[in-house]
Amino acid sequence: MLRILGSTRKLCDGLTRREMLRAGGLGLFGLSLADFFRLQEAQSATGEARAARSFGKAKACILLYLYGSPSQLETFDTKPDAPVGIRGDLKTIRSILPGSDVGELLPYTSRVMHKVCVLRSLTHPHPIHGAAFALTGVPTIDIPMELGPRDPRHYPFIGSVVEFLDQQSKRRRVPGNIALPFPFSSQRTGEVQRAGPYAAFLGSAWNPIWTTFQGKATAKMVKTLGAETLDVPEPYMGITSNSKFAIAAGDEKPAPLTLDRLDARRSLLEQFDRARRDLAESDAGKGFDRQRARALDLITSARVRQALDIEKESSALRESYGMTLFGQGCLAARRLIEAGSRFVSVFWDEYGLAGSGWDTHWDHYNRMKMELCPGFDRGFSGLISDLDARGLLDETLVVCVSEHGRTPKINSAKGGGRDHWSRAYSAVLAGGGIARGKVVGKTDRIAGDVVERPISPKDILATTYHLLGIDLETTIEDRTGRPFALAPGGSVIHETLA
């Protein structure tokens, strides 16, 4: 079909100017404007049929969240023909899927590209670390919200919504919403906690159940934040083989609640029960009951304990995920899904220093080579391959996202750097009703702007809800009874569906 590049602005009938220009050129191929509209209608019907088939296809979801934002240019949207000041020092390598080459630091990922769907055209207007914008239905975000988990403007985290709706529909799953490796933004310098994976107006009882990481890093990394430089242990580069995860005792910088302390806790809880009988029917009492039930269900569940005991896996399998915090977190996520969890999140979080993770304003190339890409490459590819080998990929949705991308132009910081950029970036979906071996969307020659199929973070949320069998017309209510949409402005990305 003849395609003419142009503005993507919509006309009053909903068609884009580009579509009208394309339609105008159809006569060259013997097609009339009426033929064009019939073709468009057929494509729409095909998308709707695909959506109907895929609804509820995913039994569970694993969310991989890369805090700080990876560069699209060194991962899934390389531009080998761009000027050196854009493409940088790293090269592109072929993947198993034609048309979906990846950065040279992702050799293992290149071998699983035929099993995933790459989105190259994410875009939004907020180039800040808005994990809450990426992971909740909140329609906008600013820096006070980013640094204020308790800001009343926040919407609930997608994992919290899924668990809440499952419980409301009597589809009870315990545990329903677990997050690894430790409470979000709890292991970095500074007292301010970042927003994102919290239940907001649903109430703290619906926050994710967090694990703690119990282990040691096998490597160190020099990290920079402005004038501050620290040489810190870096578990994302490597951890000891006896490292493990445990269920946390609370939401903020918790100590692990070990099984040998359970009986004492039960006795204490019985004393609390006798002291609070008058509160049994109150909102506070019900909230306490819910948290208590979740904690006891998790701690006493042999399946959960076994799932978190990653040492039970063979050394070869553990190494296939990479012996890093992210890799072993991905392995634990797979085990939790097998144990019956509905929504498991693995956060690549800041560690040791604020402004770390994938936030590469400084020392970009060294960090990509030594700290970031190798661990992601093994963890992501290991998870996709392992799920597929076990027959779990088709029923488990994997969503790998971040809050934005990085600037096409490399800055002049020491070691090079890429700054915040939300106009164009990438994400990856796989399994659970997602088409295999597909690339959706396109950016310009420097990965700076979207030129084909713009996608919002809300579209990814909408697609995730859809595949988990949650109707997008569903609303949730805040504490005043006001209804909220799950993914305002978002719609299912039909092109991604199998």
Give me the torsion for CA of 359, 360, 363, 364, rounded to 10°: 140
What is the number of other CB atoms lying within 10 angstroms of the CB of residue 394? 18
SS3 state of residue 355: coil
Which pairs with CB-CB distance under 8 Å and at least 24 residues apart come from 475-480? Answer: 476/156, 476/161, 476/164, 476/165, 476/202, 478/201, 479/201, 479/203
Q: Provide the β-strand partners of residue 427.
A: 119
CA dist., res. 112 & res. 123, Å (int): 25
* Domain residue extents for the chain: 57-496
Decide if 463 contacts 493 (C-beta within 8 A): yes
Number of residues in the chain: 498
Residue type, 11: L
Beta-strand pair 420-421/405-406: antiparallel
pTM value surpassing 0.95: no
Give the chain's end-to-end CA distance (angstroms, integer): 24
By C-alpha distance, which of 268, 332, 260, 273 is closest to 299?
260
CA dist., res. 121 & res. 143, Å (int): 24
Quickly list DSSP for 127-191: -S--HHHHHB--S---HHHHT-TT-TTPPPBHHHHHHHHHHHTT---SS-EEEESSSTT-SSSSS
Cα distances (Å, whole numbers) of residue 418 to 69, 120, 126, 354 = 10, 18, 16, 17
Directed axis angle between helix 457-467 and helix 33-54, to 10°? 50
Q: What angle do CA 215, 218, 221 make, to 5 degrees?
A: 115
Give the start-end residues of each E strand in 39-91.
60-66
CA dist., res. 424 & res. 404, Å (int): 8
**Mean pLDDT of each 10-residue bin along the chain, 498 residues long:** 34 43 48 62 65 93 98 97 93 95 98 98 98 97 96 97 90 78 92 91 94 95 85 96 83 41 45 48 50 55 84 96 98 96 97 93 95 98 98 98 98 94 98 98 98 98 98 95 96 97
Beta-strand pair 420-421/425-430: unpaired
Residue type, 239: I
The answer regarding whether domain 57-496 maps to CATH 2.60.40 reads no
Q: Which residue has the tokens 């020659």?
A: 445
CA dist., res. 411 & res. 24, Å (int): 43
Q: What is the pLDDT, as a whole number, of residue 40?
A: 59
CA dist., res. 263 & res. 259, Å (int): 8
SS3 state of residue 229: strand
CA dist., res. 470 & res. 343, Å (int): 13
Beta-strand pair 425-430/438-440: unpaired
Q: What is the pLDDT, as a whole number, of residue 289?
A: 55
CA dist., res. 126 & res. 139, Å (int): 11
CA dist., res. 130 & res. 479, Å (int): 24
What's the longest Cα–Cα distance across the chain?
A: 83
**Is the N-terminal amide bond of 127 cis, ω within 30° of 0?**
no
By C-alpha distance, which of 83, 77, 87 is closest to 423?
77
SS3 state of residue 113: helix
